[in-house]
């Protein structure tokens, strides 16, 4: 498993593969890989001849007071996880390689970034769009893979690719969960034992709402109230947001007459976790 640290190394490797007529997949990550990342890598390997995993904690998507310095990092663990999942190499640049001292160009977006995490984390998606655009230009992948746990991010990337005419196909992959339902996340490593147990409330709250929808409930205020009551029943859990939005535009809805995303962000202790599910308008669902 090669670890490439410069843009030039990546470009030379990808050019070699493409001269051989090989299809290239990209899995962008911030490292500290877990089973969720591994599932993305495996999916990429099933659809491409070669797969690159980017492993870069992107400073420009963190706001003041967020966990940039504390974000978990372990490149040797990441190397083994990526290799075991079938990746061919890791792109692990330092900050200077990605953002030189004179860096001054950014990719921004309006509308779709204004709610949910975009509202709570000003500038976050500007950083995401900028780094992902750079990765697309560096790697020039045929396909790129993102997890559905970060549903707003996935929607943002899809819109950016459409708007800016990137020649890459975006693949969303299902949320991978622990046996007790907690969505896999690198930030789960921050949780102590008591917080880890309390964190199961996110999935429990969403599952309760989904069950109610299957039983016929359609009032958004009722569903969000159910979610809030479940979360607030855990002393360590504090709601950041509970939103029901159009699954493409990320805009709030008042009625469920199109596919909707039910998304939550919850502080468990000091750790902010997110989760969601999508309700599709199709036979048997509504």
Other beta carbons within 10 angstroms of residue 246's beta carbon come to 17
Q: Is the pLDDT of residue 284 over 50?
A: no
Based on the residue annotation, tell me whether 37 is a catalytic residue of this protein: yes
Cα 229 to Cα 194, 207, 209: the distances in Å are 20, 13, 11
Q: Residues 34, 37, 124, 203: which is the catalytic one?
A: 37
Residue with tokens 């490593």: 189
The pLDDT value recorded for residue 281 is 78
Taking all residues of the chain, what is their mean pLDDT, rounded to a whole number?
96
Q: Is the pLDDT of residue 285 over 90?
A: no
The pLDDT value recorded for residue 200 is 98
Contact between 5 and 95 under an 8 Å Cβ cutoff? The reply is no
Paired sense of beta strands 169-173 and 237-246, if any: unpaired
Q: Yes or no: is domain 186-279 CATH 3.30.1300.10?
A: yes
Q: State the Cα torsion 197-199-203-205 to the nearest 10°.
A: 100
In this predicted model, what pLDDT tens digit does every residue of 194-226 receive, in sequence order? 999 999 999 999 999 999 999 999 999 999 999
Residue with tokens 């509308």: 111
CATH class, range 2-173: alpha beta
Q: How many residues does the chain have?
A: 286
In this predicted model, what pLDDT tens digit does every residue of 71-97 receive, in sequence order? 999 999 999 999 999 999 999 999 999
The rounded radius of gyration (Å) of the Cα atoms in the chain is 19
Q: Where do you find CATH 3.30.1300.10 in the chain?
A: 186-279
Nearest to 155 by CA among 135, 134, 172, 167: 172
Q: Where do you find CATH 3.40.50.620 in the chain?
A: 2-173
CA gap 93, 57 in Å, rounded: 9
């Amino acid at each position: 498993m090669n670890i490439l640290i410069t843009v030039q190394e990546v470009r030379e490797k990808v050019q070699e593969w493409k001269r051989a007529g090989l299809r290239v997949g990209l899995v962008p990550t911030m490292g500290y890989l877990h089973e969720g990342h591994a599932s993305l890598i495996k999916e990429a390997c099933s659809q491409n001849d070669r797969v690159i995993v980017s492993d870069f904690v992107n400073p420009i998507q963190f706001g003041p007071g967020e966990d940039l310095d504390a974000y978990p990092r372990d490149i040797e663990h990441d190397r083994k996880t990526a290799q075991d999942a079938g990746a061919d190499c890791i792109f692990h640049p330092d900050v200077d390689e990605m953002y030189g001292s004179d860096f001054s160009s950014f990719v921004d977006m309006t509308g779709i970034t204004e709610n949910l995490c975009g509202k709570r984390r000003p500038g976050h998606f500007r950083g995401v769009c900028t780094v992902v655009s750079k990765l697309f230009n560096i790697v020039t992948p045929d396909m790129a893979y993102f997890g559905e746990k970060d549903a707003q991010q996935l929607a943002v990337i899809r819109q950016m690719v459409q708007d800016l005419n990137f020649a890459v196909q975006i693949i969303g992959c299902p949320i991978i969960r622990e046996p007790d339902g907690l969505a896999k996340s690198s930030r789960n490593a921050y949780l102590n034992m008591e917080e880890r147990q309390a964190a199961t409330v996110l999935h429990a709250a969403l599952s309760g709402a989904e069950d109610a929808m299957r039983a016929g409930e359609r009032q958004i205020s009722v569903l969000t109230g159910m979610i809030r009551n479940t979360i607030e029943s855990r002393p360590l859990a504090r709601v950041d947001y509970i939103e029901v939005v159009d699954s493409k535009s990320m805009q709030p809805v008042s009625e469920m007459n199109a596919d909707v995303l039910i998304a939550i962000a919850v502080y468990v202790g000091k750790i902010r976790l997110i989760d969601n599910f999508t309700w599709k308008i199709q036979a048997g669902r509504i």
